[in-house]
Amino acid sequence: MEFKTIKIEFSEGIAVLTISRPEALNALNSQVFEELDAFITSLESKLEVRVLIITGEGKSFVAGADISEMANMNQEEGRLFSLKGQAVFNSFESLKIPVIAAVNGFALGGGCELAMSCDFRIASNKAKFGQPEVNLGLIPGYAGTQRLSRLVGMGNALFLLTTAEVISAEEALRIGLVQKVVEPEELMNVCMEIAQKISSKGKLSVQNVKQVTREGYNIPFINGSELEAKVFGESFGNGESGEGMKAFLEKRKPNW
């Protein structure tokens, strides 16, 4: 599939996905969702890719959903548009590999929801975050009400959702919405360094720790602990653990 609203780069096991509608501040529309869905499907067959970085072109990460497309929707069309976005964002969350949001500018509405569907977020100090849907007489549609409360707590989430306040990268860091804030010119370098660090670890162990952490978060503690023990035990038969522990004892880097 030829992409018109996204750009893809691959380098040494790291994929960089750039939302590319700078004239619309990278606003999300049906075409973007279709291309993202096609990209995710193609990525699942690229076994050499170990980390995905998502960013936006220009001064915006993603400024929200495309209001011009939504303005004339009826109730059923709105519901389906919501489900389409949720499905795509759930697919990012469900990827076996870690997904990093490199938030270079505005991450508002659907843009904030996209960033939240990633495993963690690194932000430029010029980035802005918010869920301004109530300004339009709407609510978030891409699981923003669900992910935000899980990431920053109920009080912080409801404050942002009901006031539509746009917050700085530093405030997003304070409440736990992002994990690191850097200078704009360093954003992609820092994200690539993090991706390279992850890529240097055992491939299966990184995938397993993502799976167990994400699955365990939404089930009772005891069940999550049982899942952890199961996957921990399975690790002893996957080949990586033998090399990893041998390398540790021999005081050398593992040869994955």
The catalytic residues are: 113, 133
Q: How far apart, in whole angstroms, are the C-alpha atoms of residue 105 and residue 62?
A: 8
Q: Is 236 exposed, middle or buried (0-12, 13-18, 19+ CB in 10 A)?
A: exposed
Cα-flanking dihedrals φ and ψ of residue 213, to 5°? Answer: -65, -45
Q: Which DSSP category does 179 fall into?
A: S
Residue 72, CA distances (Å) to 66, 68, 76, 134, 176 in order: 12, 8, 12, 17, 36
Q: How far apart, in whole angstroms, are the C-alpha atoms of residue 112 and residue 144?
A: 8
- Strand ranges in the chain using DSSP code E only, listed in sequence order: 6-11, 14-19, 51-56, 60-62, 99-103, 106-108, 120-124, 128-130, 167-168, 180-182
- The residue with tokens 């904030």 is 112
Contact 32, 5 (CB under 8 A): yes
Q: Is 218 exposed, middle or buried (0-12, 13-18, 19+ CB in 10 A)?
A: exposed
